[in-house]
Copies of this chain bind each other. A is one copy, B any other.
Amino acid sequence: MDKIREFQKLLKYKFKNINLLKEAMTHKSIKNSINNERLEFLGDAVVDLIVGEYLYHKFKGKKEGDLSKLRASLVNEDSLAKIAIKLRIGEFLYLSTAEENNGGREKPSLISDALEALIGAIYLESGIDTAKKIFILLLEENFPDISLNSLTKDYKTTLQELTQASIGVAPKYELISSSGPDHKKSFEMAVLLNGKEIARATGSSKKSAEQACALKALEILE
């Protein structure tokens, strides 16, 4: 079985126009050739819509903010690369020798871009319903437990669950200081248990500083 047939079997989709598949799998390191950047531009929007609609229907009680968080946790380089690895996209990519020697077939950015391009290509030749079917299948295979908890579980929540269970107290966060100009502020926060400081951390927002505090506290407590 040749490579292209093998890949289409993994993808569970057979391209009508094989050139479109080739375009989707061609990295820009191949010069003087059409590459997958335009298809990726399109596919990025297709994936956003597919996942957005999926979450919209799946989580009818969730507000916009939660849906956005959920989508961000599914549509990002790491998550898409995970799917791309399952599809063995790296093996089927067209790239330059230099990029190949540079580990291009394993780069999350490269393979996640190719996955988006692939979905863009399927959308172009077969429409949104087919693209939806293919991508949701991949999504559910790779993320069998899609829920707000599993996907956006954060350190603050984990820390709170831990301290509530162990000492019956929720952590508190305090702003220690902020500095820097408006466009580049830095916040230093502390996390306290029963009024006693456990850890300090800085971040570019209070939220990110709190998360960093919680992570430090978890490392200390565990």
Q: Which residues of B contact A41 (CB under 8 A)?
A: 52, 56, 64, 67-68
Residue in B closest to A59 when the chains form the complex, CB atoms: B38
Further 17 A-B residue pairs, CB within 8 A, beyond A38-B64, A41-B68, A68-B183: A37-B63, A37-B64, A38-B56, A38-B62, A40-B64, A41-B64, A42-B49, A42-B52, A44-B52, A45-B48, A45-B52, A46-B49, A48-B48, A68-B184, A69-B183, A175-B182, A183-B206
Q: Which residues of B contact A64 (CB under 8 A)?
A: 37-38, 40-41
Within 8 A of B (CB), among A172-219: 175, 181-184, 205-207
Some 29 contacts from A to B, beta carbons below 8 A apart, are: A37-B64, A38-B56, A38-B62, A38-B63, A38-B64, A38-B67, A41-B52, A41-B67, A41-B68, A42-B52, A42-B53, A42-B56, A44-B52, A45-B49, A45-B53, A46-B49, A48-B48, A49-B49, A65-B181, A65-B183, A68-B183, A68-B184, A69-B183, A127-B128, A128-B128, A175-B182, A182-B205, A182-B207, A183-B206
Complex CA–CA separation, A68 to B72 (angstroms): 19
Residue in B closest to A67 when the chains form the complex, CB atoms: B41
Q: How many A residues touch B, CB cutoff 8 Å?
A: 31
Q: Which residues of B contact A128 (CB under 8 A)?
A: 127-128
Q: Which residues of B contact A45 (CB under 8 A)?
A: 45, 48-49, 52-53
Residue in B closest to A36 when the chains form the complex, CB atoms: B64
Complex CA–CA separation, A118 to B45 (angstroms): 18
Complex CA–CA separation, A207 to B45 (angstroms): 23
Q: Which residues of B contact A72 (CB under 8 A)?
A: 183
